[in-house]
Amino acid sequence: MHAISSVVADVEGAIASGDPHKRMGMLRQMTDLFAVEAPRLNEAQIDAFDAVILRLSRDIETKARAALAARLAALPNAPIQVIRDLAYDRSAAVAGPVLEHSERIDEGDLVRIANTGGQEHLLAITRRQTIGEAVTDVIVTRGDAQVVRGVASNRGARFSEGGFRILTTRARDDVALTDALAARTDLPPAQMAQLVGLAQERARHALTRDFGESAAAEAALAAATGLAPPPLDLTPAEVAVAARARDGLDEALVQTWLTTGETTQALVALARLAGVPSGMAVAAHRAPTMEALLFLVRAARFGWKTLKLFLAARAGEPPATEDLRSAFQAFQDLSVATAQRVVRFTAARDKVGLPRSA
């Protein structure tokens, strides 16, 4: 391809003239030419474009460099030196598009930029399709809350054991980060257990406002370790629920059972939808505090109305206004993702017979 060689003299003239308009015009021409020819270029030809575009794109205004970055970021064979030059730009408006999208930046550059760049640079990196452990190790240490939540939410991000430890520690003061970690499938068992502890602690603080420290601690322990099945034959209710399940179990049906006094069937359905044994749901309903029941209701993605009906069925009458106020606050404080994580952990541990906390 001779197109590039035919304009080299024009490029040199544009740079030598000192005319920014002429230089910008030449940069647009070369960038457009590269974008059109890119699928057919070999590495030597790409290198030639690289050298020319790099010279033209230096010492121009930020807005123009940002436009160049946006144009080149998605090209799989974009000029490497131009991409690196843009990625290291102090302006996140310039660096951001290539840090987020370009496949031409290697991990070493990403690590260096993560170590030296601003928070907007780090945030752009967290949006990459894949991120290696060497990069995330830096991000979880240097990133602010928004950055760390972003990388924890990225399913393509990989974390070292140390990286997960840092994330879990930072989650202690960040509910949104806790939820992002709870949604991951690669969280190590030790960090998963710590995350469960965080969820219990937050729920316990919410319950303490109404039930007192001792009862809240007891409720948190019950939610974490599971509850012994009650001495009750659940077979009739399980048969009835299984029969209805063929047509679909949903929250409306559970509410109907609670309203008509068929509480055991409602609890069996709750257990089925939350993925736990029926006895655990019945025991949670009979527990002295509501925390275990709260975890199951949230894990099943049921709403506040359903929790109120369960609480009324447990007490035999509508709960007091103050009790409802505290229960509603606890309901809001506990996310579905965290509740599901706790419930899955509890059910799996009980199924395989792992030791319980003392």
**Which pLDDT value is given to residue 218?**
45
The model carries a pTM of 0.62
- Domain 3-190, CATH: 1.25.10
134 class by beta-carbon count within 10 Å (0-12 exposed, 13-18 middle, 19+ buried)? middle
Nearest residue to 222 (alpha-carbon basis) of 294, 163, 166: 294
Nearest residue to 280 (alpha-carbon basis) of 344, 329, 184: 344
d(CA 324, CA 312): 10
pLDDT-wise least confident of 1-10, 120-129, 166-175:
1-10
Q: Over pLDDT 90: what percentage of the chain?
A: 50
Question: Which residue has better confidence, 161 or 8?
Answer: 161
pLDDT in tens, 191-248: 887 887 777 677 666 555 544 444 444 445 454 444 444 456 778 888 888 888 888 8
pLDDT in tens, 181-190: 988 889 888 8
d(CA 340, CA 196): 10
Question: Which residue has better confidence, 5 or 291?
Answer: 291
Buried b (16+ CB within 10 A) or exposed e, 139-175: bbebbeeebbbbbbbbeebebeeebbbbbbebbeebb
**Which pLDDT value is given to residue 302?**
96
d(CA 142, CA 158): 17
| Stretch 113-121: mean pLDDT | 98
Going from N- to C-terminal start, the domains of the chain cover 3-190, 192-352
d(CA 312, CA 292): 16
d(CA 231, CA 222): 18
Nearest residue to 88 (alpha-carbon basis) of 64, 67, 112: 112
Give the alpha-carbon dihedral of 212, 217, 223, 227, to 10 degrees. -100
**Which pLDDT value is given to residue 26?**
85
